[in-house]
Copies of this chain bind each other. A is one copy, B any other.
Amino acid sequence: MKKLKKLEPLGTESLVDKVETRLLMFFKENKLVPGDAIPKEIDFATSLGVSRTVVREALLRLRTLGLVESKKRRGMILKQPDIINNFARILDPTLLGEDTLKQLFELRLILEMGMADFLFENRNEEDLDELEKIVAAEEATDTHQIRFSLDKEIAFHGKLYQMSNNVTLQKFQDLLLPVFNYVYLKDTENTNLDDYHYSEGEFVSHRMLLETLREGTPETFRNAMRRHLEPHFDHALKTGGR
């Protein structure tokens, strides 16, 4: 038997896959930018030699990803994909695995530890005042349970994200909020955070964070935030194995 050339595994990708990549190539080659109109389904179908069904499914994918938008009679136009928005639909904590949830919660800790510099860069009286109001309201309500009242937690930390002045980060946080809540609640079920005793007995409250943000530096703020988040960090680090 003659030596035969190894038989290449023939592409496993479906027709729709191919068409999708062809469409993306088409956009790039023609240097189309968001706002530009693209040919109609039937034209793509004929020039690619496939059925309208296939073209439609490929375009539907791109639409799902927010890359194109379709209007009746008007055809389709390229869109600036809103990276974040699509996930909102499916990012249901109950549909995510334990490990992913844990990692996303870690991500939250990372983000809040890392954004100090941007907070200091963009802080202004207006925002600080609003933060002040949030803290004041928090202190006024229930002096015993203030530490881990979820609503206040969200209000305060949410405001911080907003103050980062990074819209993408904000959207990201909005998106992950349900996840955070979910993990947070699950955690508080198991370990009663009120009983948690901080190292050196010192608890860093929202008020103290606010003061640090007013008078401190990014560095001191990071340290304060680390203390503030200590129970969460402990939980995340303890339950290690991924």
Chain A residues within 8 Å of B, Cβ to Cβ: 20, 24, 27-28, 31, 33-34, 57, 60-62, 64-67, 78, 80-81, 83, 86-87, 89-92, 94-97, 99-100, 103-104, 106-107, 109-118, 121-122, 165-169, 172, 218-219, 222-223, 226, 233, 237, 240, 242
Q: Which residue of B lies closest to A236 (CB)?
A: B118
How far is B96's CA from A33's CA once the two chains are assembled, in angstroms?
8
**Which B residues touch A103, using CB under 8 A?**
166-169
**Which B residues touch A222, using CB under 8 A?**
113, 219, 222
Count of identical protomers in the assembly: 2
Contact of A112 with B114 in the complex, beta carbons under 8 Å? yes
**Which B residues touch A31, using CB under 8 A?**
94
26 pairs across A/B with beta carbons < 8 Å?
A: A24-B92, A33-B95, A34-B95, A34-B97, A57-B60, A61-B64, A62-B90, A78-B95, A80-B95, A80-B97, A81-B95, A83-B90, A83-B100, A104-B168, A107-B166, A110-B118, A111-B114, A113-B115, A113-B116, A113-B222, A117-B226, A117-B233, A118-B237, A121-B240, A219-B222, A219-B223
**Which B residues touch A94, using CB under 8 A?**
28, 31
8 closest A-B pairs (Cβ-Cβ)?
A114-B114, A110-B114, A113-B114, A103-B168, A64-B64, A61-B64, A81-B90, A103-B166
The A interface, classified by DSSP as helix, strand, loop or mixed, is helix
Known: A64-B61, A64-B65, A67-B90. Contact between A100 and B117, CB under 8 A? no
